[in-house]
Chains A and B, each alone.
Chain A
Amino acid sequence: MEKGKKVIIATHGYLADGFVSALNIIVGDMKDLKAMCCYTSPDFNLDNQITQMMENHDFEKEDLVICTDILGGSVNNGFVKFLGTYPFHLITNINLAFLIDLLLTTPTVSDNTLEMKTQEELFGVKYINKSIAFIPDEDDL
């Protein structure tokens, strides 16, 4: 059997819940997707939460992909510290386009597929007013 994957979106505040809410509308309910909303209470302890998450995950059975909101933010920094301890994948500066693609098209993850996906131009920020000139024409039929 192919190894499955679990995706956890970890962000400052409720952005993670917001991503999950948007994904529920577009993709539908995904049981392998979880939100981790950090610092929403004053006693939030990131290290404890991460340790608990890692200890509860069966890495033999499923790959673990952590998607954080911003490079240089404390959430991503917090996970970086654990990269040497647990074999999870860490991705940052995520957006909805990337998440949809990750959930729909990647049944199993590997270093290679993730590296390719994070370099996709499709997932970048776009200035639509200026890109209008380069819209592809309708296809032949």
Chain B
Amino acid sequence: MIKAVRVDHRLVHGQVAFTWTHYLAVSRIIVIDDKAANDEFQKMALNMSKPAGVKLNIFTVEKALSKMPKVEELKDTIFIIFGCTKDAARFIQQYPKIKEINYGGIAKKEGSKLYSDVVYLNDEEVEDSKKIMDCGTHIFMQQLPSTKREELKFEK
């Protein structure tokens, strides 16, 4: 069962590995990020830091899509983490079964605008987000279980 879906530019880090994983009682984390999936050192770092007792997979968008029928059959409680809105939008357009997605952390960059404490979106990321919303997926922003949940909305 897919318990939660998050976009976080730091992928699996302290907040995700310990706090969310514990809070959601996750048994498998699936990282979907083209860049990380093609970077041996990043994969190593993620595998090294995976929380005790939790399974971890790191896939490109393509690979993840091909695995979804199998993922749906798993008995695990699954936490999906995207590294960027672009990969999230590409994935959700092909797999529009995701009800909601949490923007947990998106880095500040040239030309980006602040939407929540740690969520900055530039024009491209806004476009990605609109694509995600068009699939019927709700976007919210919440860094930690104990911090506030905000809905992402764009002015028309």
A residues within 8 Å of B by Cβ?
A: 25-29, 100-101, 104-105, 122, 128, 131-132, 135-139, 141
Contacts and interface: CB of A to CB of B under 8 A. Distances in A.
Interface of B: 14-15, 18-19, 22, 28, 30, 43-44, 47-48, 50, 52, 55-58, 67, 70-71, 74, 144-147
Contacts of B22: 104-105
B18 A26 contact: yes
B149 to A, nearest CB: 13
Contact of A104 (B18, B55, B67): B18
B134 to A, nearest CB: 29
B44 A138 contact: no
A138 B14 contact: no
B71 A136 contact: no
Given A28-B145, A135-B47, A100 B14 contact: yes
Contact of A28 (B44, B48, B144): B144
Contacts of B43: 138
B57 A29 contact: no
Contacts of A136: 47, 50
